[in-house]
């Protein structure tokens, strides 16, 4: 297991934007317990308007644990449709293994 202070640990970076009225949350780095705490505050503020659709751009995620899965599940309760855009192989595998691929829209595209 990697030490959190080692160069292998990459702090989570969050960018929230809007693409044609759709909330887009871009995550990069590690989505773990610490990162989720940081992300929840930012995402909750971005979703205060209760959008119908949210895009989670996961192209920059290098790691995700069960806390990240729980956060994605939380997103499905805040928006009618959640799309995971360009998930990295590890994120895609976790989504498929947990059965979330049944309720999430997964895309490998650059448009929402």
**DSSP H helices in 1-112:** 33-46, 66-78, 89-97
pLDDT tens readout for residues 55-71 = 999 999 999 999 999 99
What pTM did the predictor assign?
Answer: 0.83
Delineate the domains of the chain, giving CATH numbers in brackets: 13-107 (3.30.750.24)
Angstrom distance (rounded) from CA 97 to CA 95: 6
pLDDT for 28-41, tens place per residue? 999 999 999 989 88
- Cα gap 109→112, rounded to integer Å: 8
């Amino acid at each position: 297991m990697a030490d959190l202070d080692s160069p292998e640990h990459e702090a989570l970076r969050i960018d929230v934007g809007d693409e044609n009225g759709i909330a887009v949350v871009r995550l990069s780095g590690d989505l773990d317990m610490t990162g989720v705490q940081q992300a929840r505050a930012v995402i909750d503020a971005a979703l205060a308007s209760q959008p119908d659709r949210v895009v989670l751009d996961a192209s920059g995620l290098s790691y995700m644990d069960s806390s990240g899965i729980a956060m994605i599940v939380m997103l499905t309760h805040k928006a009618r449709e959640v799309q995971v855009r360009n998930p990295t192989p590890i994120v895609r595998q976790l989504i498929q293994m947990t059965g979330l691929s049944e309720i999430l829209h997964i895309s490998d595209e650059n448009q929402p």
